[in-house]
Structure 1
Amino acid sequence: MFLKRFKEKSNQKYINTLLSSRQNVVDSRKIESVGIVLNFDEFNNYEAFKSLFKEIKILENKVKFIAFITDEKLTPNNWDAFFNPKNFGWNGKIDNVELEEFVNTEFDALISYYKEDSLELNLVTALSKANFKIGISGKDKRLHDFIIDVTTNQIDLFKMELIKYLKVLNKI
């Protein structure tokens, strides 16, 4: 119990270090590749995002999903990749090859589609090397470059607002 608490503090301290040293430099390139971080307990409608990317003309092979699950026994087989709390060590160390590959991919945009303030989800968002980070959670505003304040069940509103602002920002 105590070790778990110390590990959480260690990872939160690591997130704070990452975010305080983060350079908020978003370049002007168009979005061609996207990574999506989801909390499987909050939202698991893969098709809703596929239709969004078809609408904004992003190729399906340029989209990568990763979902957070609380129990690895409940892993469904229709998603790209999953991670769980056991995949994290001390000081933000990742013990999952798929997760490590995801955070090291330099996506043009990262969509963090979760509302729950979760240490693991925040750590993935903070570690991501994506150029432009979009989120729906406003708990820690340092995590994202752009926040659309909706709930996870308001996917149609999210899509509409995202398209509108990406056009304004000349990203699509």
Structure 2
Amino acid sequence: MFLNGLKAKSIHKQIDKQLRKRDYKPSGAKPVVVALLQDSTKPFDPVSLKKILKILNLSEKNLVLLAYVKTMTKDQKELPSLFSEKQLGWKGVFKTAALENFKKQRFDILISYYHSDALALRAMTAMSNAVLKIGVSPEMESVNDLTIHVNDGQESIFIKEFEKYLKILKVIH
């Protein structure tokens, strides 16, 4: 237990370091790659996800999904689109190549669609190399550039606000 607390503290230090370095600068370019980071217990509705892609004028191949699970089963460990707290090491180092690649990949938009305060989700959002980070949880405002306050299951409201704010930020026209 003591070591878990120290590990969490080292991860929080890395998150804080990333947040201090973060400075959102709009690129002015049309979004090409979008990522969705979510809690697997409350996933984003697939029909609504297609609406977001339509707003951005992107196809499904331009979308990268990553879902957090509290505890992974043996079968889930083989899936690169799932991750858990155990795959997060000291100082915020992700233990798998797929997670490190997700963290380093440049996304035009990262949608952090979760309300969970899981350390792994917070770390992935904060350490992501996304240009624009959009979240839904008021508790995660510090790690996102834009927070759209909606509850789980309110994807239609999220989509309306998402489109409105992307137009305001001139990400889409």
TM-score between both structures, scaled by the size of structure 2: 0.90
2:82 is the alignment partner of 1:88: no
Which residue number in structure 2 is paired with residue 151 of structure 1? 151
Distance in 2 separating the partners of 1:59 and 1:38? 19
Q: How does 1:125-144 map to 2 (within 5 A)?
A: 125-144=125-144
Which residue number in structure 1 is paired with residue 69 of structure 2? 69
CA 1:166–1:24: 2 relative to 1, 3 Å: closer
Q: How does 1:1-172 map to 2 (within 5 A)?
A: 1-73=1-73, 81-172=81-172
Number of residues of Structure 1 aligned to a counterpart in Structure 2: 171
Distance in 2 separating the partners of 1:38 and 1:75? 19
Structure 2 segments unaligned to the other structure (5+ residues): none
Distance in 1 separating the partners of 2:164 and 2:91? 38
Distance in 2 separating the partners of 1:13 and 1:119? 12
The answer (yes or no) to whether the contact 2:94–2:100 under 8 Å persists in 1 is: yes
TM-score between both structures, scaled by the size of structure 1: 0.90
- The one-letter amino acid of 2:104's match is N
Structure 1 segments unaligned to the other structure (5+ residues): none
The answer (yes or no) to whether the contact 2:105–2:130 under 8 Å persists in 1 is: yes
Distance in 2 separating the partners of 1:117 and 1:97? 24
Provide the aligned C-alpha RMSD in A: 2.0
The answer (yes or no) to whether the contact 1:32–1:59 under 8 Å persists in 2 is: no
Distance in 2 separating the partners of 1:60 and 1:73? 27
Shift of 1:43: 2.3
Distance in 1 separating the partners of 2:115 and 2:123? 14
Shift of 1:3: 1.2
- The one-letter amino acid of 1:161's match is E
Distance in 1 separating the partners of 2:162 and 2:70? 28
3-state SS, counterpart of residue 138 of structure 2: coil
- The one-letter amino acid of 2:40's match is F
The answer (yes or no) to whether the contact 2:44–2:155 under 8 Å persists in 1 is: no
Percent identical pairs in the alignment equals 32
CA 1:61–1:42: 2 relative to 1, 3 Å: same
